[in-house]
């Protein structure tokens, strides 16, 4: 079934077996232009830009996921199901739930807790904590060590909601109950799709704001910190 409703690629082999997925399609463009060679753009549908290029001679793709589980759910599904993608590494940002995390710290995601119904509705899978793929995640940890980049290995919260105005929601409850150290909005759905297709998924996050200290980074500052994370992810294909 290609092209798919959301990816305008008509042939196999255009998209690499390893795909880096930032949330922002313009960040996908930046990664492709900054780190890859021989870049070809493969997707413009809905401006969810996707590119294939080479890194140290190895073929790799990078594509935006959009924000939230419905969006990454669609793109990662189509990549795994219809384009032969084997590994997706999400490279995103997160908000810190703990003061042990500072702005710009990098997290390798161990697993994702979520209140989302994604797994139940898509696969009849009731789990509320989904692990990242062990092998791929261990590879990311090893690469970080080799590159001398300090990373945290943590459980995170994949949230369905960015703006909370309910007295029933306290992020501190999630820290206490599930040991969630940070929040983003995509990993849980990505891990469910990988699990269903027996493929691999992992996630690297840079802390962009803190719900504890209320500090936040600017867009320009985020870009710099982001580069470290990309360097870790790119070494996976070497």
Considering only 87-95, 119-127, 137-145, 194-202, which stretch makes contact with ligand HPA by CB under 6 A? 87-95
Shortest reach from residue 111's CB to ligand HPA, in Å: 17
Instruction: For the CB of residue 5, give the shortest distance to ligand HPA in the complex, in Å.
Output: 26
**Member of 184, 192, 193, 222 binding ligand HPA (CB under 6 A):** 184
Q: Return the closest-CA partner of residue 42 out of 25, 22, 24, 23.
A: 25
Q: Which of 26, 162, 173, 227 binds ligand HPA (CB under 6 A)?
A: 162
DSSP letter at 212 equals: T
Residue 186 engages ligand HPA in binding (rule: CB under 6 A):
no
Residue 47, Ramachandran bin (φ over 0: left; ψ between -120 and 50: alpha; else beta): left
Question: Which DSSP helix (H) or strand (E) runs through 218?
Answer: none
- How many CB atoms sit inside 10 A of residue 138's CB? 14
The structure tokens 């994604």 sit at 118
Q: What is the closest distance, in whole angstroms, from the C-beta atom of residue 24 to ligand HPA in the complex?
A: 11
125 catalytically annotated: no
Nearest-CB residue to ligand HPA? 95
Q: Which residues contact 180 (CB under 8 A, 6 or more apart)?
A: 97, 113, 155, 156, 157, 171, 174
**Using CB under 6 A, which of 61, 98, 208, 217 touches ligand HPA?**
208
Any idea which residues carry the catalytic annotation?
209
């Amino acid at each position: 079934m290609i092209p798919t409703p959301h990816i305008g690629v008509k042939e196999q082999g255009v998209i690499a077996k390893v795909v880096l997925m930032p949330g922002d399609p313009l960040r996908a463009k930046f990664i492709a232009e900054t780190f890859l060679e021989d870049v070809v753009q493969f997707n413009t549908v809905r401006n969810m830009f996707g590119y294939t290029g080479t890194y140290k001679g190895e073929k790799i793709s990078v594509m935006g996921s959009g924000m939230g589980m419905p969006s990454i759910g669609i793109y990662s599904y189509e990549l795994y199901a219809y384009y032969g993608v084997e590994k997706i590494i999400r490279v995103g940002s997160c908000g810190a739930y703990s003061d042990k995390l500072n702005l710009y710290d990098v997290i390798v995601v161990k697993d994702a807790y979520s209140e989302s119904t994604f797994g139940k509705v898509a696969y009849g899978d009731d789990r509320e904590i989904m692990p990242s793929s062990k092998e791929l995640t261990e590879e990311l940890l090893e690469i970080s060590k080799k590159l001398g980049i300090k990373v945290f290995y943590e459980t995170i919260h994949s949230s369905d909601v960015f703006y909370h105005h309910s007295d029933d929601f306290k992020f501190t409850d999630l820290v206490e109950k599930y040991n969630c150290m940070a929040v983003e909005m995509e990993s849980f759905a990505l891990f469910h799709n990988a699990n269903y297709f027996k493929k691999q998924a992992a996630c690297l996050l840079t802390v962009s704001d803190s719900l504890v200290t209320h500090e936040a980074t600017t867009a320009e500052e985020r870009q710099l910190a982001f580069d470290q994370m990309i360097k870790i992810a790119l070494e996976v294909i070497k």
